[in-house]
Chain A
């Protein structure tokens, strides 16, 4: 296997009030690759990302990023290490304009001019709609456009790892295809991505490595290509298969 993974989770447990959600998650995200985290809903995918970002405290286990422990750090400090997080509900600042959302995401820039022009143009090429509604409050954008803005915010400054939570959720097929194209271009720049997804088509199009999580535990680890060819395995892990535990 290549050098030590950029991100590693070992035996991570989390509790949300009385709920015990993650039951010892082990996960590795190699640098420069897209790792897809698949699983039925309620399996703990979103909680895994929130735990990495420190939004939900891990009650046990270790999380290390580039060799540094994360579980003791506060969310802002984790983000400053170079992690970007695109939450399931996109976390758009509705009252702020598209321009202001992006300016805010560029922590190093005090004014728009200080943002790397090349990156901004690349974003506009990926997501032209953001240029059209540049001055509009982000709240007035459509679902797909909001998703594009959420991802654009993660690209406005170089980040070492992008955590993206179900970008395809609630989007029309045409927009999903568009999104896959955009993320594929991003993948070409060898950006490390941990993608949580239910949409198998998107997962297959983008994923290098894959981990399947169920009831708070990683139940399968492997290469996306292998899983894509093995229909039986897909059904057992993800579909309406009648097997599975009580």
Chain B
């Protein structure tokens, strides 16, 4: 039997979590009543979900690869948001006119600046705080928590303690009208950027050697080292990339909220923990599904029962954990 004649079969992915996502979205339609507000809420949910995914993806890979849980990951979100305030203020001649191309360019410059600074601080954060505590979870939690506090205070020293406004550039203000549904322009932009980052991430993880290394490292670190790769340096790279992504997410989150405070990191920190738990530690796909679930649920309950919105995340987390204690896509720990 020649080699070519050997038939090749194609694998199948676990569909259930995706079905849960569809069920949540469609289930909300009858409850919301009108299709137009459902569309608005869904887009808002997707936008929020995308931003949370961008931020949480770094955290889940860092944990998956080196068993390091960074309780201070949120500080890079605050950093990104504050960098955006400075950059966009500096580029006011690009953001004030209703010229979409210039506005988007200004935001991209802000994003690049935020990612660069977050990456640099991320490297220092890893070197000073994370490296001495490998393998000791309690110390990691305490030290990275301390790192969060130090980060927040340093931000206050540089940008001052008061909240800063982060106005949307002119062209991204207001809403698009689709039929009778009004969809905010910025949210569509956020979803677009989110999809871009997602595409880049999926391409890296599935199509490049680096991506294979990360996914394999999450599975069996010793075996990857036995094949000749230095996982420790790979990890530092992933940690820095994760911090940069959090910085990018910070810019988008700051624009989404339109005001920026140093505590922004701590608030979002809790949100991304829920997403990472729900999705399954170390799983990028799980992180995406988890983020979209949280985003959609938060917006739907915000509309239907604002009082309960606070608890919607907790309920989702408990529900998923009862169904799958290791999250939607548990990464097979050898």
Q: Does A121 contact B (CB under 8 A)?
A: yes
CB contact under 8 A between A91 and B9, given known A96-B216, A124-B3: no
Q: Of A95, A97, A131, which one neighbours B332 at CB under 8 angstroms?
A: A95
Q: Does B157 contact A (CB under 8 A)?
A: no
A132-162 vs B, Cβ < 8 Å mask (1 yes, 0 no): 1111110110000000000001000000000
Chain B: minimal CB distance from A173 (Å)? 23
Q: Could you tell me if B220 and A91 are in contact, using CB atoms closer than 8 angstroms?
A: yes
How many residues of B are in contact with the other chain, CB < 8 A? 29
Q: Does B131 contact A (CB under 8 A)?
A: no
Q: Could you tell me if A132 and B6 are in contact, using CB atoms closer than 8 angstroms?
A: yes
Q: Could you tell me if A93 and B219 are in contact, using CB atoms closer than 8 angstroms?
A: yes
CB contact under 8 A between A79 and B228, given known A95-B332, A121-B3: yes
Chain A: minimal CB distance from B58 (Å)? 19
| A134 proximity list for chain B (CB < 8 A) | 8
| A91 proximity list for chain B (CB < 8 A) | 220, 222-223, 226, 334
Q: Could you tell me if B11 and A136 are in contact, using CB atoms closer than 8 angstroms?
A: yes
Chain A: minimal CB distance from B17 (Å)? 15
A77-112 vs B, Cβ < 8 Å mask (1 yes, 0 no): 001100001010101011111001001110101110
Chain B residue at smallest Cβ distance from A123 = B3
Q: Does A222 contact B (CB under 8 A)?
A: no
Interface range on chain A: under 10, 10 to 19, 20 to 34, or 35 or more?
35 or more
Q: Does B225 contact A (CB under 8 A)?
A: yes
Instruction: Give CA–CA (A224, B11) in the complex, Å.
Output: 44
Q: Could you tell me if A89 and B11 are in contact, using CB atoms closer than 8 angstroms?
A: no
Chain A residue at smallest Cβ distance from B332 = A94
| A104 proximity list for chain B (CB < 8 A) | 209, 212-213, 216, 224, 227
Instruction: Give CA–CA (A85, B8) in the complex, Å.
Output: 28
| B223 proximity list for chain A (CB < 8 A) | 87, 91, 93
Q: Does B73 contact A (CB under 8 A)?
A: no
Q: Does A212 contact B (CB under 8 A)?
A: no
CB contact under 8 A between A93 and B215, given known A128-B1, A135-B11, A136-B9: yes
Chain A residue at smallest Cβ distance from B207 = A111
| A103 proximity list for chain B (CB < 8 A) | 209, 212
Instruction: Give CA–CA (A220, B24) in the complex, Å.
Output: 67
In the A-B complex, list the 9 residue pairs whose CB atoms are closest, starting with the nearest.
Answer: A91-B223, A79-B228, A131-B6, A75-B225, A93-B216, A85-B226, A124-B3, A80-B228, A76-B230
Interface residues of A (CB under 8 A from B): 53, 55, 74-76, 79-80, 85, 87, 89, 91, 93-97, 100, 103-105, 107, 109-111, 121, 124-125, 128, 131-137, 139-140, 153
Task: Identify 15 new A-B residue pairs, CB closer than 8 A, beyond the known A91-B223, A93-B215, A100-B216.
Answer: A74-B230, A76-B231, A91-B334, A93-B216, A94-B332, A95-B215, A97-B11, A104-B213, A104-B224, A124-B3, A128-B3, A128-B6, A132-B6, A135-B10, A139-B332
